[in-house]
A and B are shown apart, each in its own frame.
Chain A
C-alpha cells in the first residue's frame, strides 16, 4: 500500500530487543525489600458448608507474618456480570481449590507449612458436576441467593442457571416446515486452559498512608483497580496498578484473582507480599474455557439453502459466573456462523456446577459454537451431496446481510477468506490419499466493543509520546499503536515513543481483550492525533502569522502550505510553546464505538447484541491419520482471516499462527479432566499442550475487507485464529476416514475406537469416566426454564 508510510509494514516490535536479551520485566521478576511470600489454601471439597476455621496454629508458626480468612476481610460480593463471589470462601465452598485462607511468610516453604496448620471443619453438601443435573428440577442449589445478587444488565436467571440468552429471528416452525431436510446433532466440548506461559503473579505494597501499589500479571489494570476498590472498600485513588510485560493472557488474566488476597496480606503484615500461582493452582482456579453441550437442529432445502436453525447451548460455568453470561451469549450469537439463516431460535444457558469457575478464553464462547456449527455444515453437505466449500459459498454472508441479531453487516470479507483459503490450500474435491483428508472451518466474530482513551504529548525535541494504559500481552499493541500514531501524525515511526503508564498516569482503557485494542485504542489514537495536529496548527499559525487552515505538518516541520522554506521545526515549536503558552502540547483522544442498530426484539438476556466491526475467517486443515493408533498428524493449516486492514502484517500472521496451534490443541489433545470435581491432570505434562512437533505448517493469509469504522479499516485478529481450527480438523478427519467425532478433543484413543467400530462418535459412545458423563448428560437436554 504505497499510500501509507508507516502502517501496512512489517516493523519489528518495539519490545523485542528487551525480550531477546532477558531485560524485559514481568511481574514475576519484581522483588522488593522485605518482601514476603504469599500462599493460598484452597478447598478440599467441591461443595460444603464451612463450620469452623482455626488458623491459630498457623499464626504461631515462626516466620509467618499474616494469616487471613473470610473473617478478616470486607464482606463484599464481586463479579463482573453477577456479584456472586467473595475473595475468600464465606460460609460455603463451591469448588475444589476455592480460596479459603491465605498466609504471608518469610518464604514459600514456611507459608506452605503454615497452610497445613490451618484446620477447617466442613460439612459436605451434595455436589453437582454436570450442568444438566444442575438444570434438573429440584437440583441442589449452588447459589441459594442467586436472585438477590446484584447484576449488570437484565440477565435472566433461575435456580442454577445464572444466565439465559434467547435469540430469535423469523418463525422457527415456518422455517422447519419449509425445509426439505432437517438435521439434528449434539456436540460437546471439553474444558481447556489458556496456559499462558507466565503464571498469575501479584506483588502488593501498602504504604504508611494506606496507598496500595500493585504489580500484577494482568490484561486489564483499570479493571483490577476498580475491582480492588470494590472488594477492599478502598477509594480508587489509593490504588495504583503498575503495568509490566505480561507473559500471555488469552483472556485468563482479565479482572482480579490473586490481587485482593495479596493486597490484604500486605496490609495485614505491613510488608510487601508476592504471590505466584503454581501450575496446579492455575488449572484448579484460574479461568478456563467453558465446557459445553450444544444441540443443533437445522432445516435446509435440497439445494443446500439454510432455512432454519434451532439450538440449545449449555455452557458449564463452574462455581461462579465470571464473564460466563457474555460467553454463553456469544455462543448464541455465533451458533449461526457466517451464514444467512432466516429462521432461528437459540437458547443458551450459563449454568453453575461445583467445578473450577470458567471465564474468558480466546474467542469467548465462539470456539465451542463454531465447532458445532461448522461440523454440522459438513454433515449437511455430505448428506446432500454438495461440496462443503460450495455449501458455504452458497449460504455465506455478504455486504448488507444480517447477523443473528438483525444487525446489517458491513465490511464483510467472508467469501474473500473462503476463496483465498480454498485457492491456496488448495481445496480439491477428491481425496489426496487413503487416510488423508481436508476439511474446512469458518468463523464470524466481533471486534471493537468498549471504550479506550490515550494522550499524545509533544516532547521538547519534536518527538511524540503516546501515553496509553493498554497492556502488551504479546499481541504487539505497543508497536501497532505507535505505527497508527506515526502514520496519522505524518512522522517517521521513530518519532513516536509508546509509553505505557500506570493507572495513576495513563488515561482509562477497558483492557486488552475481546479483540478490541487495535480497533478501539487505534481509533482513540487517531482522535488524539487530530487534536494534536489542531493544536500544532494553531500555535504554528500564530508563530508564522498565518491562518491555521493553511498550516501543514511536513518532514517534522510546521509550514504554511506552499511555502516550506519558512517552516518551524517541531522541536522549536515545542520550546516556543513552553515560552508562549506556558505548557506542553498535550492532546487527548477517546473512542467508544457507537452500537450499530440491531433488531431489539431478537435478543433477550444478552450482551453486546451488535458489533462495531464483524470479522471473518476460513481455515482448511490437511491431515493424515494413522489407522493403527488413531493418531492424527496435522500436515498443514491454511488460514485466511479478514482483518480489515493489516497495520503490521507480520504481527497479524503471528496472531493467526499462534491461534491455529492453540486451536489444534483444542481439537486434538488438550483437556482438563475431572473426577468428582477434582482435576486429575493439573500439570502441563499431563495436559498435553502442542509442542513444535505437533504444530503443523501454517499458511497465514490476510484478507483486507476494510471496516467502515476501524482505524485505517482495521479490525481485531487476536481471538479468531483459535476458533475455526477445531471444526476444520474434525471435518478433515471425516473426509479422511468417514468417521464423525462430535466430542472434543479428538484424541487418538477416541478416534481409534471409532475406526475400530466404524461408527461416528456420539459423546455417549465413548469410554472413560469423563466422556461417559458427557454422554449421560446428553439424554435430557435443557429443560425449559
Chain B
C-alpha cells in the first residue's frame, strides 16, 4: 500500500509516493540519497539516525515516512549555509569531537535542537540532551566541550 506525502526536507519541498511501512530513515537514505543520516541499529537505540522533525530531534528509524507528512525535516546535509559551517559543525572540528564520525550527524542535530531551545545549557543539561546518542569513540568529553563552546557564545 503506497501513500502520497508532501514534506519539506532541508528547505526543499518534496512530493513522494511511499510504502506504508517505510521508515523516514529509509526514505532519506535510500530514496533521496541523503546518506549523511546514519543507521547504527534500526531499533531506536543509538541515535545515529537523528534528524530534526519540526525542530525536534527524532530517531528517523522509528518514524514512519507517512508520519512526516506535512512536516519540516532537517538533516545534517541541511545545516551549513553554503560554504559556511554551522557553529556546532565548526566547534566539533575545532575541539576534536569527531573520530569515526558515524555518530556525528545525529549528535550535532541533537545539540542543535538543544541550543535552539536553550542557548545556555549547563554541562549536565548537555549530557542529558545527548544521552540518546551513543558515541563509542570519543568518550563524549570533546563532544560536550564543543557544545559548551557554542553555548557560551
**A residues whose Cβ falls under 8 Å from a Cβ of B:** 10, 12-13, 15-26, 28-29, 31, 194-199, 245-248, 250, 276, 278-279, 473-476, 650-651, 653-654, 656-662, 683-685, 689, 691-693, 695, 697-698, 700
Contact = CB atoms under 8 A, between A and B. Distances in A.
B102 A247 contact: yes
Given A16-B93, A693-B127, A197 B36 contact: no
B30 interface: yes
B128 to A, nearest CB: 6
Contacts of A658: 99, 136-139
Nearest to B109: A22
B43 to A, nearest CB: 7
Contact of B139 (A17, A31, A197, A660): A660
Given A22-B37, A197-B38, A250-B136, 19 more contacts: A12-B93, A13-B98, A15-B98, A15-B101, A17-B93, A18-B101, A19-B101, A21-B36, A21-B79, A28-B38, A196-B100, A196-B136, A197-B103, A247-B38, A247-B101, A474-B102, A651-B96, A657-B140, A693-B127
Interface in B106-130: 108, 126-128, 130
Contact of B93 (A20, A198, A651, A661): A20
B134 A21 contact: no
B20 to A, nearest CB: 13
A462 B62 CA distance: 51
A659 B99 CA distance: 12
B98 A246 contact: no
Nearest to A199: B40
A245 B36 CA distance: 13
Contacts of B37: 22
Nearest to B48: A197
Contacts of B143: 692
| Size category of the binding interface on chain B | 35 or more
Contact of A657 (B38, B85, B141): B141
A693 B93 contact: no
A20 B38 contact: no
Interface of B: 29-30, 33-46, 48, 75-77, 79-80, 85, 89-90, 92-94, 96, 98-105, 108, 126-128, 130-144
A248 B126 CA distance: 24
Contact of B76 (A17, A22, A25, A661): A22
A152 B77 CA distance: 48
28 contacts: A10-B96, A16-B93, A17-B85, A19-B104, A20-B85, A21-B76, A21-B80, A21-B85, A26-B102, A197-B136, A247-B38, A279-B41, A474-B101, A654-B96, A654-B137, A654-B138, A657-B139, A657-B140, A657-B142, A658-B99, A659-B139, A662-B136, A683-B41, A684-B40, A684-B45, A685-B44, A689-B136, A693-B127
Contacts of A29: 29, 35
Contacts of B42: 278-279
A654 B93 CA distance: 13
Nearest to A685: B45
A719 to B, nearest CB: 13
Given A247-B102, A691-B131, A698 B141 contact: yes
A648 to B, nearest CB: 9
Contacts of A194: 136
B146 to A, nearest CB: 10
Which of A22, A26, A473 is most buried by chain B, counting CB atoms within 10 A of its CB? Answer: A22
A12 B99 CA distance: 11
Contact of A474 (B34, B80, B94, B137): B137
B113 to A, nearest CB: 15
A476 B99 contact: yes
A695 B141 CA distance: 8
Contacts of A23: 36
A21 B77 contact: yes
Contacts of A476: 99
